[in-house]
Amino acid sequence: TWLIDGTLEPGSLTFFGVKEAKEGFFLGSWKIPTENEEDISHCLTETANEYGKPDRILHDLSERMDNACSLAFPNSLHNFCNYHFLANMGKDLYEMPQAELSKRLRAIKLQVSLKNQRGGQTQRLRKAVSEENISLALSDLLSGKEMNICWSESFGREVLLALHSWFLDYADDGHRQGFPFDPYLLYFHRRIVVALEASNRLLSCSTIREKMPKVFFNFCQQLENYLLDPIICRAASLYEKANNIFGRVRSTLRLFTSRSNPMHDLYELSSDSQEEVKNALGTLRNELYEENIKCDDPKEYNLYEIALAHIDKYGARLLPSDEFSSRDEILVRTTNGIESDWSSGKRIRRQTHGRKKLTRDFQALQAGRVEIGKRLHPKAERVDQIPLVVSVVALLEHFRNVEHARPLHAVDERRGGGVGGNGDLYRRGLGDCQGDVRLFDDGVALGLG
- Contact predicate 196/223, CB 8 Å: yes
The half-sphere exposure of 343 on its side-chain side, counting CA atoms within 13 A, is 9
**For residue 25, how many other CB atoms are within 10 A of its CB?**
21
Nearby residues of 24 by Cβ (< 8 Å), 6 or more positions away: 337, 391
Q: Tell whether the model's pLDDT for residue 435 goes beyond 50.
A: no
- 187 or 327: which carries more pLDDT confidence? 187
Q: Is the pLDDT of residue 447 over 50?
A: no
pLDDT in the model for residue 61: 93
Q: How far is CA 5 from CA 21, 69, 295, in A?
A: 12, 12, 39
In the 8-state DSSP scheme, what is residue 134? P
Domains parsed from the chain with CATH numbers: 2-81+335-440 (3.30.420), 82-328 (no CATH)
C-beta of residue 338 within 8 angstroms of C-beta of residue 5 = yes
Confidence of residue 354 (pLDDT cuts 50, 70, 90): confident
How do residues 11-32 score in pLDDT, each as one tens digit?
A: 778 888 899 888 778 888 888 8
Q: How far is CA 149 from CA 136, 146, 153, 209, 212, in A?
A: 11, 9, 12, 16, 14
Give the strand pairing for 2-7 and 57-59: parallel
Compute the residue count for the chain: 449
Which of 1-15, 93-107, 356-370 has the largest mean confidence? 93-107
Residue 341: pLDDT band with limits 50, 70, 90:
confident
Instruction: Determine the pLDDT at residue 390.
Output: 37
Question: Mean of the pLDDT values across residues 288-316?
Answer: 96
Cis peptide before 262 (omega within 30 of 0): no
**Average pLDDT, whole number, for the chain?**
78
Report pLDDT digits (tens) over 156-198.
Answer: 888 899 999 998 999 888 877 788 999 999 999 999 999 999 9
Mean pLDDT of 258-278: 80
Report the Cα–Cα distance between both ends of the chain, in Å, rounded.
21
**Beta-ladder partners of 440:** 369
Per-residue pLDDT, 12: 77
In this structure, the dihedral spanned by the alpha carbons of residues 408, 409, 412 and 413, taken in order and rounded to 10 degrees, is -150
* DSSP-derived 3-state class of residue 383: helix
280 has a pLDDT exceeding 90: yes
Please tell me the predicted confidence (pLDDT) of residue 9.
77
Q: Helices (H), strands (E): how many in the chain?
A: 18, 9
Q: What's the pLDDT score for residue 66?
A: 93
HSE at residue 94, side-chain half, CA atoms within 13 A, is 20
Calpha distance 56→78 (Å, rounded): 5
Strand partners, 6: 16
With a pLDDT cut of 70, the percent of the chain lying above it is: 72
The model's pTM: 0.77
The three-class DSSP label of residue 366 is coil
pLDDT at 420: 34
Is the distance from CB of 276 to CB of 326 less than 8 angstroms?
Answer: no
Q: pLDDT exceeding 90 applies to what percent of the chain?
A: 44
Confidence of residue 448 (pLDDT cuts 50, 70, 90): very low
